């Protein structure tokens, strides 16, 4: 059968109607979920953007980030953020070899950084530019200073004109006045619709990688106005700090939340347009569609009032993934699954759907037995994740955060506190962290590669040496 995979970057489960949100408008994803298997406990095996793509494109863990090599002139320099290895196979390569027409459309700029090679295995691929300021595309000096005033002091902004999250680069790339159908999100789903129409007479595999609703958090105006104050006069924040939001006013936080919500509804709209084209072409009866996010983000709904996704804040808002699998017919309709699954299982499922294997092997397992309610699923007892130098452990009872040196950060009992708002007392937390650390180490092969003294490069190719804490990577219970 045909296979479509859709990734929506930074999409929170808590902003989808099908996961319980009654305020955010996501009618197309909600309808899709009614005809799908919906997974309520899906998590990433590593974070953030590029480690997740490495796992999804190969089916193998990026955790615990061995052999990390920083590339000059990259946009991000953190452990695990690296290209696909030349000597490993990819899902798309194996599907192409099996006779699939493979297609990839992507608005996630990081995937086309020089040397990253995420287009490998695709007979057709399209990088849709302009979503973010990290795309080195247009000149930040082309933006009239008076157009920046709502985003801050133009003189200050132009002191760092190439900053990826700053107004000069964002406005240069996406235009000062966003028109719905001219957005990168719209163009990506339109390209995807053209791909399925062109290839409707042969089996195809299509990967749609949408950077929305990731920052910059500014939606087309009609989508912002679904949730935001039309009379807001404050700074138009395109993003926020990654940490406690204590320096923002309540009005500013509500503005950011409204823009994020608008982007969620914008993605939903164009997802719906694509699904309508798939159905109008008569392809829905022979196409499996899998929808997932790479991670979410914090919107102050955590015990430290954190906004954004700093590595040490892998709370539910970041870690809980929407994961929906719609099979042809009604075999998957209304099937709600509460098993622990991870993003690697999506890739394993695609291999299963295509009845092919990877020579290099994969680490996930197909969820088709859960979708079809048949035998074959091997229950997973826990999940582990690394982001930068921080760690997250989740099982049926415990949500634990710590560091690669074994230091405990926060531990929660998710039976009584599913939103992770109340840390356990120190004695109970230490006891649970001990078991969590043992499993984190086990999954890491006994130790974590430590890059805290590694010399990395900034966006100008200049060397920077990271500072390392005094804590050794011994595995001791801290």
Q: Where are the domains of the chain?
A: 2-131+183-381, 389-465
Distances in whole angstroms, Cα of residue 143 to Cα of each of 81, 149, 157, 171, 224? 31, 11, 11, 7, 23
Looking at the DSSP bridge assignments, the partners of residue 455 are 465
Task: Tell me the average pLDDT across 467-475.
Answer: 42
pLDDT band at 362 (very low <50, low <70, confident <90, very high): very high
Does 64 sit behind a cis peptide bond, omega within 30 degrees of 0 on the bond before it?
Answer: yes
- The 3-class secondary structure across the chain, one letter per residue, is CEEEEEEECCCCHHHCHHHCCCCCCCHHHHHHHHCCEEEEEEECCEECHHHHHHHHHHCCCCCCCCCCCCCCCCCCCCCCCCCCCCCCCCHHHHHHHCCCEEEEEECCHHHHCCCCCCCCCCCEEEECCCCCCCCCCCCHHHCCHHHHHHHCCHHHHCCCCCCCCCHHHHHHHHCCCCCHHHCHHHHHHHHHHHHHHHCCCCCEEEEEEECCCCCCCCCCHHHHCCCCCCCCCCCCCCCCCCEECCCCCHHHHHHHHHHHHHHHHHHHHHHHHHHHHHHHCCCHHHEEEEEECCCCCEECCCCCCEEECCCCCCCHHHHCEEEEEECCCCCCCCEEECCCEECHHHHHHHHHHHCCCCCCCCCCCCCHHHHHCCCCCCCCCEEEEEECCEEEEEECCEEEEEECCCCEEEEEECCCCCCCCCCCCHHHHHHHHHHHHHHHHHHCCCCCCCCCCCEEECCCCCEEECCCCCCCCCCCCC
Query: Residue 373 has which token pair?
Result: 């309610």
- Render pLDDT for 18-43 as a digit per residue (tens, 0 to 9): 999 999 999 999 999 999 999 999 99
User: 235 pLDDT exceeds 90?
Assistant: yes
Question: 86: burial class by Cβ within 10 Å (0-12, 13-18, 19+)?
Answer: exposed
Instruction: Give residue 109's Cα distance to chain centre.
Output: 13
- Render pLDDT for 38-75 as a digit per residue (tens, 0 to 9): 999 999 999 999 999 999 999 999 999 999 988 888 88
Q: What are phi and psi of 384, to 5 degrees?
A: -125, 150
Rounded distance, CA 109 to CA 112, Å? Answer: 6
Distances in whole angstroms, Cα of residue 338 to Cα of each of 178, 330, 396, 417, 436? 40, 20, 10, 17, 21
pLDDT of residue 178: 84
pLDDT band at 233 (very low <50, low <70, confident <90, very high): very high
Q: Poorest-confidence range of 265-269, 317-321, 450-454?
A: 450-454
Fold of 2-131+183-381: Alkaline Phosphatase, subunit A (3.40.720)
User: 464 pLDDT exceeds 80?
Assistant: no
pTM: 0.95
Q: What is the mean pLDDT of the chain?
A: 94
- Render pLDDT for 317-327 as a digit per residue (tens, 0 to 9): 999 999 999 99
pLDDT of residue 196: 98
User: 476 pLDDT exceeds 60?
Assistant: no
What share of the chain has pLDDT > 70, as a percent?
A: 95
pLDDT of residue 198: 98
- Render pLDDT for 374-420 as a digit per residue (tens, 0 to 9): 999 999 999 999 999 999 999 999 999 999 999 999 999 999 999 99
Looking at the DSSP bridge assignments, the partners of residue 291 are 6, 324
pLDDT of residue 385: 98
Cβ–Cβ < 8 Å for 264, 15 = yes
- Render pLDDT for 141-189 as a digit per residue (tens, 0 to 9): 999 999 999 999 999 999 999 999 999 999 999 988 888 999 999 999 9
Rounded distance, CA 179 to CA 197, Å? Answer: 25
What share of the chain has pLDDT > 90, as a percent?
A: 90
Rounded distance, CA 372 to CA 37, Å? Answer: 9
User: 477 pLDDT exceeds 70?
Assistant: no
Buried-exposed string 267-293: b where 16+ CB fall within 10 A, e elsewhere? bbbbbbbbbebbeeeebbeebbbbbbb
Cβ–Cβ < 8 Å for 207, 103 = yes
């Amino acid at each position: 059968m045909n296979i479509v995979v859709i990734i929506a970057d930074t999409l929170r489960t808590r902003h989808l109607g099908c996961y319980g949100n009654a305020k955010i408008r996501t009618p197309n994803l909600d309808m899709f979920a009614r005809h799908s298997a919906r997974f309520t406990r899906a998590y990433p095996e590593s974070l953030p953007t590029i480690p997740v793509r490495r796992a999804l494109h190969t089916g193998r863990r990026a955790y615990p980030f061995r052999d990390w090599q920083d590339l000059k002139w990259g946009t991000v320099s953190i452990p695990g953020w690296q290209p696909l290895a030349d000597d490993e196979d990819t899902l798309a390569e194996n599907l192409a070899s099996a006779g699939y027409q493979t297609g990839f459309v992507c608005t996630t700029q990081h995937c086309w950084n020089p040397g990253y090679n995420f287009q490998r295995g695709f007979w057709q691929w399209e990088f849709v530019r302009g979503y973010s300021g990290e795309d080195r595309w247009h000149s930040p000096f082309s933006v009239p200073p008076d157009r920046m005033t709502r985003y801050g002091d133009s003189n200050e902004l132009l002191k760092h004109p190439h900053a990826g999250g700053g107004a000069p680069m964002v406005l240069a790339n996406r235009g000062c006045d966003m028109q719905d159908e001219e957005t990168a999100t719209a163009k990506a789903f339109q390209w995807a619709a053209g791909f399925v129409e062109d290839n409707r007479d042969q089996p195809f595999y299509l990967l749609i990688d949408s950077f929305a609703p990731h920052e910059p958090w500014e939606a087309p105006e009609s989508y912002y106005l679904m949730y935001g104050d039309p009379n807001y006069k404050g700074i138009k924040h395109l993003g926020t700090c990654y940490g406690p939001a204590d320096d923002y006013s309540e009005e500013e936080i509500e503005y950011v939340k409204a823009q994020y919500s608008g982007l969620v509804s914008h993605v939903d709209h164009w997802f719906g347009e694509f699904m309508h084209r798939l159905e109008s072409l008569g392809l829905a009866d022979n196409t499996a569609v899998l929808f997932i996010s790479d991670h979410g983000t914090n919107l102050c709904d955590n015990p430290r009032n954190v906004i954004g996704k700093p590595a040490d804040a892998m709370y539910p808002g970041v870690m809980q993934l929407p994961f929906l699998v719609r099979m042809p017919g009604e075999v998957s309709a209304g099937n709600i699954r509460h098993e622990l699954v991870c993003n690697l299982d999506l890739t394993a499922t695609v291999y299963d759907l295509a009845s092919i294997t990877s020579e290099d092997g994969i680490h996930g397992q197909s969820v088709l037995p859960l979708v079809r309610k048949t035998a074959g699923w091997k229950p997973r007892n826990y999940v582990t994740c690394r982001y930068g130098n921080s760690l997250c452990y989740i099982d049926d009872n415990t949500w634990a955060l710590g560091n690669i040196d074994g230091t405990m950060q926060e531990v929660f009992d998710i039976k009584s506190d599913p939103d992770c708002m109340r840390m356990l007392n120190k004695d109970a937390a230490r006891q649970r962290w001990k078991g969590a650390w043992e499993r984190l180490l086990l999954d890491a092969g006994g130790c974590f590669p430590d890059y805290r003294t590694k010399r990395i490069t900034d966006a100008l190719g200049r060397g920077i040496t990271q500072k390392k804490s005094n804590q050794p990577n011994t595995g001791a219970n801290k």
